Amino acid sequence: MEDKKKVIFSGIQPSGNLTIGNYFGALKNWVKLQDKYDCYFCVVDLHAITVRQEPKDLRRRTLEVLAIYLAAGIDPEKNTIFIQSHVPTHSEAAWLLNCFTYVGELERMTQYKSKSKKYGAEGGTVSAGLLNYPVLMAADILLYNTDLVPVGKDQTQHIEITRDIAERFNNAYSPTFTLPEGYIPEDGAKIMDLQDPTKKMSKSSNNPNSYILIMDNPEVIRKKINRCVTDSLGKVRYADDQPGIKNLMNILSAITGMSHETIESKYENKGYAEFKNDTAEAIIKELTPIQNKVNELLGDKKYLEDIYKKGAEKAYYVSNKILRKMQKKIGFIPVSR
Ligand code: AQP
């Protein structure tokens, strides 16, 4: 008898236009995993509203993110692809799990600390949603009995808190949830900001030169790589005191599969211009077919709708079973339907 496939859950927020950080940290690896695992890939729009979104931009980006998933090679026949707000079990389970989560542990999350500081400094208010974000993420993951969560390194803390919440629930009642593990890629685990390579590249950055978008055109990509911050050492070396160069090497290596040693010897005694140029061209070569496909897919809204509807039905069916289990264990009276 064939072994049951392990389950994968992952998602990206349509909180901005997707960057190559999202691509190398998440998407590119999803594509590699889709044959071996039972995968749920979600456009996590409920997460995006933890900071204020312009409604029309959110709508446009949600469909664009879905199109990017498909264009990057996620096969809708093999995977469950859906939009988070279409599956109400996520919000419901998040409420239940909120009651198994401590405020102190949420306040310790690095992402909460940095985002609340950023939005506070910009004069905005910090929503309770921003604090509760990891609980919704825990619900997303636990509702599918997920084994593995392929994410970038920045999400490690969120996987840990998911495990803590799951264990707390399991211990309070009886084993209910699978304890998920993070699945972090080797190259591209953390793509850094092009203007400040000590910070991660983020789609919500206020400085467009700090990131490369999946949909940036070749001229823009060349300019951004050309202007990116490096150092005055003039040596292509994979070293912590050269974070800008290290970042470009990670990107080049994630695209071409070249090892860091190979890149170092290829550009020995050559300065940065050729290395930057080759990196830009490699990014362009990687992204151009994806961009063409995204534009084609966005012209066929009916096709996209068929995919997200079918995905939501399957996701609801699977997640509702676990939600019912949670409700029963907590002591709620089952509804007879
Ligand atoms: N710079 C990055 N390097 C590697 N992986 C990254 N990811 C994000 N940035 C990088 C991975 O992309 C997936 C989706 O992330 P998300 O959209 O849910 O939220 P995020 O991690 O907060 O991403 P951003 O781009 O920084 O979004 P904003 O600016 O809205 O917060 C995750 O797997 C993440 O690890």
Domain shared by 175 and 104, yes or no? yes
Ligand 1 binding pocket (C-beta < 6 A) is 12-13, 15-16, 19, 21-22, 24-26, 151-152, 154-155, 188, 190-191, 200-204
pTM, to two decimals: 0.93
Domain shared by 173 and 245, yes or no? no
Q: Which domain holds residue 57?
A: 7-188+300-330
Domain shared by 247 and 287, yes or no? yes
**Number of domains comprising the chain:** 2
Calculate the CA dihedral of residues 221, 226, 228, 230 and round it to 10 degrees.
140
**Domain of residue 129, CATH code:** 3.40.50.620
202 part of a folded domain: no
**Domain of residue 285, CATH code:** 1.10.240.10
Domain shared by 291 and 312, yes or no? no
Each residue's pLDDT tens digit, 98-152: 999 999 999 999 999 988 888 777 777 889 999 999 999 999 999 999 999 998 8
**Greatest distance between any 2 Cα atoms in the chain:** 74
Whole-angstrom distance, CA of residue 273 vs CA of residue 117? 36
105 part of a folded domain: yes
- Kindly list the strands in the beta sheet with 7-12, ordered across the sheet, starting from the edge strand earlier in the chain: 80-83, 38-43, 7-12, 148-150, 181-183
Domain shared by 79 and 165, yes or no? yes
Rg, the chain, Cα only: 21
Indicate the range of 138-147, 148-157, 204-213, 316-325 predicted with least confidence: 148-157
Beta partners for residue 43, in sequence order: 12, 83
Domain shared by 183 and 326, yes or no? yes
The verdict on whether residue 114 carries a ligand-binding annotation is no
Domain shared by 36 and 62, yes or no? yes
Residues catalogued as catalytic? 115, 200, 203
Which residue's structure tokens are 């890939």?
A: 41
Phi, psi torsion values for 45, nearest 5 degrees: -70, -30
Domain shared by 319 and 245, yes or no? no
Each residue's pLDDT tens digit, 267-302: 998 989 999 999 999 999 999 999 999 999 999 999
Whole-angstrom distance, CA of residue 258 vs CA of residue 249? 9
